[in-house]
Structure 1
Amino acid sequence: MTPRTPTRSGLGEAGSVAVEIALLAPALVLVLGLLVAGGRLWFARTTVVEAAQTSARAASLARGPAEASAVGADAGRQSMTTAGLRCAQSSVRVSTAAFAVPVGTPATVTSDVTCAVPFGDVLLPGLPGTLNLTGRGSAALDTYRAR
């Protein structure tokens, strides 16, 4: 049996930590960027749907179709602004056809909100510059209220 020669631990491993960090850093930056983009997307979708619901609810409380359209659009825009959602382009459309339904018949006011959410500041390859999100909300009109 031959005696074993002791080996020096760490021989030939000088600089391996620097190489590992250099290989892992881009992956960690990519994961961080995906988390930021995912969080922004979740926040934007939730805010757009809530703005649509707020818009429809405000429109359903109005007395006439012209007032409902104006109040609903203003409420939708204000809801997005209050939440801090920044849209490159946005629109709020309120359908006031429910005001033409005769009293005693159930009717629903609907609202559609669109928002082009910018992602240009999240520097990830393949991520679009803007993403168009839409939300739809509805609220019932009082069945027996004069229209």
Structure 2
Amino acid sequence: MTRNVWTGRAWWLERLREDRGSESISAAIVTPLLLMLLCLAIAGGRIVTSGAKIDAAAEDAARAASISRTTSGAQAEATAAAARSLNDQGIHCASTSTSVDTAGFAVPLGEIGTVTVIISCTMPMSDLLLPGVPGSKTLTSTFTSVVDAYRSREG
């Protein structure tokens, strides 16, 4: 019984052209990529949300500083308000700095002055993304609040 060589080759060529199993291979390639994209979107959302919470803390700190009567009191009130706001919102900074520009207190009565607060918060990446992720990210926010033009103030 002789077997035709071309029949065997034709069978293999036909097998190579079949699509069976290609969906499984496509799913095995695409699924991890989609999961990575989803994780990246979640990470970006968490960073943006944390930035918004730091913005809110800067607003609270600037408002607290603008209603203070003295420059030293404004610094203390802004720092305390920023710490309270961050704590209330569940933000845990590895290090925090609050800078207050109180030049608006030197403006004469009847003119509008401003107080600017800059808050910088260094957060561990494990708090932002997933537990165990190394590194940290520094988020900074600035807010300016108006000092009442007709309120008495001390320089």
- The TM-score with structure 1 as length reference comes to 0.77
Distance (Å, rounded) in 1 between the aligned partners of 2:79 and 2:19: 68
Q: Which residue of 1 aligns with 2:30?
A: 24
Gaps of at least 5 residues in structure 2 are 1-17
Name the Cα RMSD after superposition. 2.3
Residue 150 (structure 2) pairs with residue 144 (structure 1): yes
Q: Which residue of 2 aligns with 1:6?
A: none
Aligned with 2:32: secondary structure?
helix
Contact 1:92–1:111 at 8 Å: present in 2 too? yes
Amino acid at match of 2:109: V
1:116-135 to structure 2, matched below 5 A, reads 116-120=122-126, 122=129, 129-135=135-141
Contact 1:103–1:143 at 8 Å: present in 2 too? yes
1:31-110 to structure 2, matched below 5 A, reads 31-110=37-116
Amino acid at match of 1:78: R
Aligned with 2:109: secondary structure?
coil
Distance (Å, rounded) in 1 between the aligned partners of 2:113 and 2:107: 7
Amino acid at match of 2:78: G
Using CA pairs below 8 Å that are at least 6 residues apart, which structure has the higher relative contact order? 1
Does 19-28 or 92-101 show the bigger shift?
19-28
Gaps of at least 5 residues in structure 1 are 1-10
Distance (Å, rounded) in 2 between the aligned partners of 1:120 and 1:78: 22
CA deviation after TM superposition for structure 1 residue 120, in Å = 4.3
Aligned with 1:90: secondary structure?
strand
Please identify which structure carries the higher helix content: 2
Q: CA 1:99 to 1:21, structure 2 compared with 1: closer, same or farther past 3 Å?
A: same
Matched residue count? 133
Does 70-79 or 88-97 show the bigger shift?
88-97
CA deviation after TM superposition for structure 1 residue 101, in Å = 2.1
Q: Percent identity?
A: 37
CA deviation after TM superposition for structure 1 residue 17, in Å = 5.1
Q: Which residue of 1 aligns with 2:20?
A: 13
The structure whose Rg is larger is 2
